[in-house]
């Protein structure tokens, strides 16, 4: 199941605007242990009860397939890691990508049907022509985080091929950085944080708000977090100040911004 996108190269004519390294399977031994609550297992019956499948039609190749979805009302929130909700014993992010098992077309689940006719033609040609290079995998109903990572990489490949917005690509990269962090794989967390930062910065400079559903203050906060993680404190402080003085920001985001500002000042 792994290594499916390891052999992308210039000869395939995919015109990807990200390095091939992004798509290849890559996992390192965990460097940090997750806290006990996060790794707390739930029973197999508990996981099964959280999932259901639904038949959908691929908007690109028109094949029908079963997609696994999460019963979000049944999730039990453990805590918020800034903007990312962490649930007890379960990672719903793994199920956020819908992938056609016939042609390999994959996107974040809410965007699956959003494909223009011109994008459809491009995708059909590129997917068919390259079938041997990224044959879609059949993932099991219950997926672990590594499988989730592989599916986001398919979504990234589709996003590049269909020339999706920078905001959409940034969101995929943000979620990949979160999943790698959940695995404790800090080398890949850093790599994907760097790419997420780069693409979200480009989106911030060129796209209109909301950027892929994110408000300006949410984007400011994400860019501040990336800047902190990449040791660029001046940039982080600039974005945090914009959040703190914004009268329309909700109190939770303002508190998060204040905490991060304090964290930076303490580390000086």
- Tokens 């994400």 correspond to 222
Instruction: Determine, following the binding rule CB under 5 A, whether residue 103 of this chain makes contact with Zn ion.
Output: yes
Q: Which is nearer to Zn ion, 49 or 63 (CB)?
A: 63
Q: Which is nearer to Zn ion, 80 or 135 (CB)?
A: 135
CA distance 250 to 243: 10
- The helix (H) or strand (E) run that includes residue 143 is none
CA distance 162 to 159: 5
- According to DSSP, the β-strands at 97-99 and 64-70 are unpaired
State the binding string over 58-97 for Zn ion (x if CB under 5 A, else -).
Answer: x-xx------------------------------------
CB of 60 to Zn ion, least distance (A): 5
Sorted by sequence, the CB contacts under 8 Å of residue 192 that are 6+ apart come out as 22, 173, 176, 177, 180
Figure out which of the listed residues 93, 100, 174, 227 binds Zn ion, where binding follows CB under 5 A. 100
Q: Which is nearer to Zn ion, 98 or 217 (CB)?
A: 98
Helices (H) and strands (E) in the chain, counts: 9, 6
Q: Which span sits near Zn ion by CB under 5 A: 99-107, 206-214, 249-257, 260-268? A: 99-107
Q: What is the 8-class DSSP label of residue 18?
A: S
* Phi, psi values for residue 115, rounded to 5°: -145, 120
Q: Which is nearer to Zn ion, 4 or 179 (CB)?
A: 4
CB of 100 to Zn ion, least distance (A): 3
Q: Which is nearer to Zn ion, 120 or 194 (CB)?
A: 120
Size of the site for Zn ion (CB under 5 A): 7
Rule CB under 5 A: which residues touch Zn ion?
Answer: 58, 60-61, 100, 102-103, 105
């Amino acid at each position: 199941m792994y290594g499916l996108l390891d052999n992308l190269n210039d000869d395939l004519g995919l015109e990807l605007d990200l390095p091939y390294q992004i798509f290849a399977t890559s996992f390192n031994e965990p460097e940090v242990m997750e806290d006990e609550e996060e790794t707390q297992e739930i029973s197999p019956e508990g996981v099964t009860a959280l999932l259901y499948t639904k038949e959908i039609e691929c908007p690109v190749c028109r094949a029908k397939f079963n997609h696994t979805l999460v019963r979000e009302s049944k999730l039990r929130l453990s805590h918020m890691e800034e903007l990312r909700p962490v649930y007890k014993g379960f990672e719903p992010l793994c199920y956020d990508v819908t992938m056609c098992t016939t042609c390999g077309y994959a996107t974040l689940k809410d965007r699956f049907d959003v494909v223009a006719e011109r994008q459809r033609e491009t995708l059909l040609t590129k997917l068919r022509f390259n079938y041997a290079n990224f044959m879609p995998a059949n993932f099991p109903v219950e997926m672990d985080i590594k499988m989730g990572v592989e599916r986001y990489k398919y979504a990234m490949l589709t996003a590049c091929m269909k020339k999706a917005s920078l905001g959409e690509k940034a969101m995929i990269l943000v979620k990949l950085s979160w999943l790698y962090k959940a695995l404790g794989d800090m080398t890949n967390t850093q790599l994907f944080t760097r790419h997420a930062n780069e693409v979200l910065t480009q989106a911030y400079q060129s796209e209109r708000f909301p950027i892929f559903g994110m408000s300006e203050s949410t984007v400011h906060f994400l860019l501040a977090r990336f800047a902190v993680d990449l040791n660029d404190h001046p940039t982080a402080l600039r974005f945090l100040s914009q959040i703190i003085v914004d009268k329309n920001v909700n109190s939770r985001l303002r508190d998060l911004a204040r905490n991060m500002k304090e964290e930076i000042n303490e580390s000086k």
